A and B are shown apart, each in its own frame.
Chain A
Amino acid sequence: MKSLDEIEVGRKVRIVKILGGYGLVRRLVSLGLTIGVELFIINNQGPIIIKLGDSNIAIGKGIARKVLVEEII
């Protein structure tokens, strides 16, 4: 299990755990990021940019560190 900021560009991951309070979880859920969701890493220079379904989302490094994922591809 790695955190989201440690994943290389182009990999596909699944969210396993979110280390954070209710506020953070709610913010992430409102963008569709919740446990079990699969996403691609598009960019990890600066904020992590992920591709989730149709939309691209930028996530600050601090938050990315709190999102634990497992690599699928």
Chain B
Amino acid sequence: MSCHQHKNFDFLENHGDYIIALVAQPNAGKTTLFNTLTGARGYVANWPGKTVEIFSGTVIHHGKKLTIIDLPGIQSLHTSSQEETLTKECILENKFDAIILLINAESLYRSLYFILQILELTNKVVIAINKFDVIERRGFHINIAALEAKLGVPIVTISALKKIGIGPLMDRIMDLLEKKNEKAEKFKIDYGSLEEYIEYTQKFTNDRGLAIRALEGDDYILETLNEKGRNEVRRIRKEIEEKYGFRPEELIAMTRYKIIEELTQNAIVKVNVAGKNLEEKIDKIMLNNWIIGLIISLGIILSTLFIAFTINTGFPLNIIFEELGLTELANIIETYNLGGIISMIFSTLSTLTQNILEDANIPTWFIDLTTNGIIAGVGAVLSFLPLIFMVNVVMALIEDSGFMARMAIIFNKITRIVGLTGKSFFPVGISIACNVPGILATRILEDDKERFRVIVSLPLIICQARLIVMIFLLSAFFTSPLAQTGTTLLLYTLSFSLFLLASKIVTKTALKGQEQELILELPPYHIPSLRVISWISWERSKSYIIKAGKIIFPASIIIWTIMHIGPNGYTPNPNTAFGYIIGNFIIKAFNPIGINSWEIGLALLTGILAKEIVIETLAISFATENPLEAVKALHLTIPQALSLLTFIMLYTPCIATIATIYSETKSLKFVLLNLLLQLSIAYILSYIIAYIAMLIL
């Protein structure tokens, strides 16, 4: 008796909303996963008509009750034993709402054949790769995104034993059940010259996957065909063998293995792991003396950030070259960096569009919106990309080489004071470049409470965009390099101290809970693999474009509207636009210390879009091409300038960061907490600094 006669699984009492089959090869860790999923509350049911015992258990996930059926382990779909046949029949009958296909990472190559066999039959599959951590420790890396793209089904890496990845696995299954990412197409292999036979057989089986199995000579499928179909399939099987000298099942297997060869070549990398001796030597240097370890760690972080910064914007290498008198070299770096190239492309595109639209007699406001609103907005999203990509590359290097875990131990001594584990240094380091990947990097923190504490305070770290604004304003306010450098160091010290302070405050108030203690495994050192680095950094950068793009783009249109639409409709002059009114309103907050310019008020608002825009807005408001002139036209006193600078460095994070806080915490409460925290810190400090400066100067 096969399983289709019991397709409703009536013998299972109260099976809930969905029935999920757990399918695995032997030794993949199926029982462990089953126990982890169901909390070992499974019970034995006798499969009707069979002497095979199967386990079933239930899981409640997001309010839905799922019954998990533990099918007997099965090596492949070419099987003979009664238990294995049961599993195979159930898969062939396709009677489950979804299948968890559990694979042992240690034998991925072997398992891929099994995966392909099943995917040809059904796409209601989530693949779980177990013991992922074990093979990573041995230096293997699997490019999950590439495998997913090739196979067309979700893949989750888990450790059934350590209970890692179980949540994401259940989420993927729910997505599949709720048809959130429905893909009509089943996985398809091109069998070349066998294709015409498959097509012909499909007339009898009504399904490509079943047709392939029939051609392979699967008795179970052949039995389900009518007399004519059965005879026809037997006839063409003979025909194929005579024509090609191989039996159809051999030809099919060869094709599948060729696909597997390609898949593993493109998606699996083995790196050489440093020997134990070398590892001990490096660890002795890194971990025996805390000060030396700290210096090395800071050196690694700062030098890698320096390289990332320079490739992206030329800064700070251009300034160093200029100080050395190598003006030409400085100019080259300033122009031909990634950020510069992207902005060149967009300004060309903008001019080109403007010319075309002007020739076509389109209204001025529309041309303005397209070029200065939309194209500039897309440009803003993309201009962030090189930096975020570079930072991700740099951090992936530190992570993949094994240095990150050691640095976490070293920084633990500092972060412990405010109740954070040393791992939190990692998001902080990334945030120096950009807060968005910094917030994404908090995912490495095990404890959710700790993670949210870090996320809420993290945007107090001054990012590169703010550094650019800082350098720019400093060069306008001060002429002495000493004053410039001094203020820069002061602001960074302030920024890090405030991060630690804010973490301590939220730990004691809004996000109370046990302070976490460090416990982590030290992976072996190894030379980072270029491919692994590119996978990690591309995946992280891609998530930035998608998330931030959705917000930065519409926000830039809104900003354009504020700057160009006034009570009397479209105006090219911000003086008569709503921006004037809004700017005037905002700057009232700074009237007590004598800052009155509406331009600054407006710049603070647009700065929320992206911090660099502060400078740009000032330039547009004063209708000048040279932003330096605009800042000088503000006629700020030194206390006012310092106060304003402090505020710009610390007030609400940019919109991309705000969006990322929301998408990572899924909580409006944390977004508001962050905004409140930063606005009040920035506002209070800007007043304190103004008054102290007035007293001293």
Contacts and interface: CB of A to CB of B under 8 A. Distances in A.
Contacts of B288: 43, 45
B695 interface: no
Nearest to A9: B288
A59 B520 CA distance: 7
Interface in A43-58: 43, 45-47, 49, 54-58
Contact of B287 (A30, A31, A43, A57): A43
A30 B413 contact: no
Contacts of A58: 405, 408-409, 518-522
A33 to B, nearest CB: 9
Contact of B521 (A45, A47, A55): A55
B290 A46 contact: yes
A63 B521 CA distance: 14
A27 interface: yes
A56 B162 CA distance: 17
Contacts, number: 64
A35 interface: no
A62 interface: yes
A47 B518 contact: yes
Contact of A28 (B287, B289, B519): B519
Contacts of A60: 412, 416, 421, 517-519
B410 interface: yes
A50 to B, nearest CB: 10
Contacts of A59: 518-519
A55 to B, nearest CB: 6
B521 A27 contact: no
A17 to B, nearest CB: 17
B152 to A, nearest CB: 32
Nearest to B138: A54
A19 to B, nearest CB: 14
Give the bracket for the number of chain A residues in contact with chain B: 20 to 34
Nearest to B406: A58
Contact of A27 (B161, B279, B290, B519): B519
A45 B410 CA distance: 10
Contact of B412 (A47, A55, A56): A47
A62 B517 CA distance: 7
Nearest to A57: B521
Contacts of B162: 30-31
B409 A47 contact: yes
Contacts of B421: 60
A18 B520 CA distance: 17
A46 B412 contact: yes
Contacts of A31: 162, 519, 521
B519 A63 contact: yes
Contacts of B137: 54-55
A57 B519 contact: yes
A38 to B, nearest CB: 17
Given A30-B162, A30-B163, A58-B405, A43 B283 contact: yes
A61 B422 CA distance: 13
Interface string B125-151: 000000000000100000000000000
A58 to B, nearest CB: 5
Nearest to A63: B517
Which of B164, B279, B290, B416 is most buried by chain A, counting CB atoms within 10 A of its CB?
B416
29 contacts: A27-B519, A28-B519, A30-B163, A30-B164, A31-B162, A31-B519, A31-B521, A42-B283, A43-B283, A43-B287, A45-B289, A46-B290, A47-B412, A49-B283, A49-B287, A49-B409, A55-B521, A56-B283, A57-B521, A57-B522, A58-B405, A58-B408, A58-B409, A58-B522, A60-B412, A60-B421, A61-B517, A63-B518, A63-B519
Give the 9 A-B CB pairs with smallest separation, nearest first.
A60-B517, A56-B522, A60-B518, A30-B162, A62-B517, A63-B517, A58-B409, A59-B519, A57-B521
Interface of A: 27-28, 30-31, 42-43, 45-47, 49, 54-63
